[in-house]
Amino acid sequence: MKRNLLLISNSTNAGEEYLGWCQDLIKDFCLRHNVKDVLFIPYAGVSMGYDVYEQKVKKVFKTLGLNLYSIHKEKDPEEAVKNAKCIAVGGGNTFHLAYELYQNKIMKAIANRAKKGMPYMGWSAGSNIAGPTIKTTNDMPIIEPKSFNCMNLVPFQINPHYTDFFDPKHGGETRDDRLGEFIKIEPNVWVAGIREATALSLEKGNLKLIGRNNKMKVFRGDREAKEYTLKDDINFLMQ
């Protein structure tokens, strides 16, 4: 397996700078793969706009010795993907991200590059689209993409920002309730709930949970949900 992936749950921890907690993960990932230039995909950034989003990420990446440039300023998005040395996909609204990737005809192009070994990193929505579909996103469907199908860089679904927090004053569904609905419909599909301050790393065919938090929660329709730690072997998710 040639894929080199860094799939981050969240960009910001409370009280910390943007991309603060995961800067070392990004820097080390790029160093290992000799990456200096990163093509950024800002399409999930609905609220702030692409220009502001690019500058926000570019400022952080510059401190890491990385040159970041955004696809929304490229004349030919497909050609930009073809020539990219590394791609980073930012968080925001997953439905809008998928919509724009299809509109610009680069969903498949990015997937093809990443499956051949081009380093790919994403956070939040950018991690969610690395799975087979966006069906386990937390976002509101503000726009209808061509398809819910995504890159299938990993064969399991991802739920970023996973939390099992239960507020007794709130009468709505918990995250587990919502993921339980998915695995009821898709009982043979694994779902990895990755908590804040964690990421999934796939390099040299080895899938690992990394980061500050010690646990992730895995769901599947034919068994009880189970917690896995940074020390556990989670490569069964790739089967």
DSSP-assigned letters across all residues of 171-217: -S--HHHHHHHHHHHSTT--EEEEETTEEEEEETTEEEEEESS-EEE
Tens digits of per-residue pLDDT, 48-99? 999 999 999 999 999 999 999 999 999 999 999 999 999 999 999 999 999 9
Just list the catalytic residues: 124, 139, 161
Mean pLDDT, range 109-129, rounded to an integer: 98
Distance, CA of 155 to CA of 143 (rounded, Å):
25
Q: Is the pLDDT of residue 195 over 90?
A: yes
Distances (CA, A) of 217 to 6, 49, 114, 141, 214: 18, 33, 26, 24, 11
Task: Look at residue 115 and tell me if it is in a domain.
Answer: yes
- CA dist 182 and 191 (Å) reads 9
Structural domain count, the chain: 1
Q: How confident is the model at residue 214 (pLDDT cuts 50, 70, 90)?
A: confident
The CATH number of whichever domain residue 30 belongs to comes to: 3.40.50.880
Model confidence at 1, in pLDDT bands (50, 70, 90)? Answer: low
**What percentage of the chain carries pLDDT values higher than 90?**
92
Say if 74 falls within a structural domain.
Answer: yes
**Lowest mean pLDDT: which of 5-9, 165-169, 208-212?**
165-169
Residue 140 in 3-state DSSP? Answer: coil
Per-residue pLDDT band for 166 (boundaries 50, 70, 90) equals confident
pLDDT higher than threshold 80 for residue 44? yes
Q: What is the mean pLDDT of the chain?
A: 96
Residue 72 has phi, psi (to 5 degrees) of -70, -10
CB 45 within 8 A of CB 37: no
Q: For the segment 220-229, what is each residue's pLDDT rounded down to a tens digit?
A: 999 999 999 9
Residue 179 counted as domain residue: no
The predicted model gives 172-186 an average pLDDT of: 95
Distance CA 5, CA 177 (A): 29
Residue 177 in any domain: the answer is no
Q: Whole-angstrom Cα distance, residue 155 to residue 152? A: 6
Mean pLDDT of all residues in 20-43: 98
pLDDT at 165 over 90: no
3-state secondary structure of 84: coil
Count CA within 13 A, CB hemisphere, residue 104. 24
Share of the chain above pLDDT 70, in %: 100
Confirm whether 89 is domain-assigned.
yes
Q: Which domain holds residue 104?
A: 5-164+191-214+233-238
The pTM (predicted TM-score) of the whole model is 0.97
Please tell me the predicted confidence (pLDDT) of residue 213: 80
Q: Tell me, what amino acid is at 13?
A: N
144: in domain: yes
Residue 175 lies in a domain: no
Tell me, yes or no, whether 12 lies in a domain. Answer: yes
Q: Is it the case that residue 209 has pLDDT exceeding 70?
A: yes
